[in-house]
């Protein structure tokens, strides 16, 4: 079987992250960390052997004292069944094999351990992707990969099941962020380490006309009355548990012992009943 080509150039990704780490734009990491901590606070469990998988150890490590922090390499430095909590921190969208990453995290969990990931989803920067494509097609007559094609929430949820995790949940939390200009958005992406690291990207400098055309299109479609522009970042949270005896399980369809209409105190009607 032929191995599919890698989506991500890991060398370029490491270079982008190292450059950004000197003066990082960390606000989305801070929001992701805060929400992960809030979600863990709602779990009636004390985790004693946590691990964090991330490309940003200086941001995520201090937020989870005592956790083993490992890089989001293709092969994770995690021991099997060694952790009761594995957090994948805002890096899974860059994985060439996201299912493989989740499977490795699942194997690192002891029975009834929790996997919790946050990553950027498919609605992230959809407007920027469209404007760059239109501007490049107009200026050059062709297209090259510029914005990471992030997965949709329904596809990510199915990966949890394929990895063998129980009680899988996937939910989205979009953030609309305003910038003084499209150029400021592009600068912020570089400062987040989220600049183009696609393996199939063009290896030549982008024409000035492409950037200027994309900026005009973006300001036209996503500009506000005050002159600023808006960008959407969709954070997707994935949750699943390592299987264990006595774990809650969904009931078999049709096995309910009570009617929903009775619980709601209403009258049940057939769809064709007026």
DSSP class per residue in the chain: -PPPPPSB-HHHHHHHHHHHHTS---HHHHHHHHHHHHHHHTSS---SSEEEEES-HHHHTTTSTT-EEE---SS----TT-EEEEEEES-GGG-S-HHHHHHHHHHTEEEEEEEEEEEE-TTTTHHHHHHHHHHHHHHHSS----S--PPPHHHHHHHHHHTT-EEEEEEEEEEEEEESSHHHHHHHHHHTT-S--BTTS-SSPPPHHHHHHHHHHHHHHHB-TTS-EEEEEEEEEEEEE---TT---PPPTT--SS-HHHHHT-----TT--
Query: 145 pLDDT band (50/70/90 cuts)?
Result: confident
- Identify whether 174 is part of a domain: yes
On whether residue 16 sits in a domain, the answer given is: yes
- Within-domain flag for 141: yes
Q: So what's the pLDDT on residue 107? A: 98
Q: Which tens digits make up the pLDDT trace of 148-164?
A: 778 899 999 999 999 99
| Predicted confidence (pLDDT) per residue in 237-254, tens digit | 999 999 988 776 665 666
Distances 215 to 72, 181, 203, 221 between C-alpha atoms, Å:
32, 8, 21, 10
Whether 137 maps to a domain, the answer reads yes
Q: Which two tokens stand for residue 71?
A: 């890089």
Q: Are 261 and 255 in contact (CB under 8 A)?
A: no
For β-strands 229-241 and 166-179, DSSP reports them as antiparallel
Q: Average model confidence (pLDDT) for the chain?
A: 90
52, 69 Cβ separation under 8 angstroms: yes
Per-residue confidence (pLDDT) for residue 123, from 0 to 100? 93
Let me know if residue 48 belongs to a domain: yes
Condensed to tens digits (0 to 9), the pLDDT of residues 64-83 reads 999 999 999 999 999 999 99
Return the pLDDT at 1: 42
Calpha distance 39→239 (Å, rounded): 10
Cα separation, 12 vs 16, whole angstroms: 6
Residue 144's domain comprises 10-243
Please compute the mean of the pLDDT values over residues 89-99 and round it to a whole number: 95
Question: How many structural domains are present in the chain?
Answer: 1
Q: Is residue 134 part of a domain?
A: yes
User: Does residue 259 lie within any of the structural domains?
Assistant: no
Q: Give the best-scoring range by mean pLDDT among 140-149, 165-174, 201-210.
A: 165-174
Confidence of residue 274 (pLDDT cuts 50, 70, 90): low
Return the pLDDT at 4: 59
Query: Which CATH number covers residue 135?
Result: 3.40.50.150
Say if residue 218's pLDDT is above 70.
Answer: yes
In a domain, 177, yes or no: yes
**Which among 93-107, 132-146, 245-259 has the top mean pLDDT?**
93-107
């Amino acid at each position: 079987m032929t191995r599919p080509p890698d989506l991500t150039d890991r060398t370029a990704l490491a270079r982008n992250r190292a450059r950004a780490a000197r003066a990082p734009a960390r606000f989305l990491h801070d929001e992701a960390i805060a929400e992960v901590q809030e979600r863990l606070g709602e779990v009636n469990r004390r985790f004693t052997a946590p691990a964090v998988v991330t490309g940003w150890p200086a941001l995520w490590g201090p937020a989870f004292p005592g956790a083993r922090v490992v890089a989001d390499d293709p092969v994770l430095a995690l021991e099997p069944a060694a952790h009761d909590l594995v957090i994948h921190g805002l890096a899974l969208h860059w994985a060439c094999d996201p299912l493989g990453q989740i499977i490795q995290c699942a194997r690192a969990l002891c029975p009834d351990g929790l996997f919790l990931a946050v990553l950027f989803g498919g609605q992230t920067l959809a407007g920027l992707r469209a404007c760059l494509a239109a501007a490049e097609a107009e200026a050059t007559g062709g297209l090259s990969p510029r914005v990471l094609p992030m997965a949709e929430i329904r596809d990510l949820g199915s990966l949890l099941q394929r990895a063998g995790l129980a009680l899988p949940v996937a939910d989205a939390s979009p953030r609309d962020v305003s910038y003084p200009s499209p150029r400021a958005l592009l600068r912020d992406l570089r400062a987040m380490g989220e600049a183009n690291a696609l393996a199939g990207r063009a290896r030549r400098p982008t024409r000035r006309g492409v950037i200027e055309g994309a900026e005009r299109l973006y300001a036209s479609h996503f500009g506000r009355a005050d002159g600023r522009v808006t960008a959407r970042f969709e954070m997707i949270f994935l949750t699943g548990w390592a299987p264990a005896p006595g774990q809650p399980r969904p009931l078999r369809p049709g096995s309910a012992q009570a009617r929903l209409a009775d619980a709601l105190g209403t009258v049940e009607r057939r769809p064709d009943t007026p």
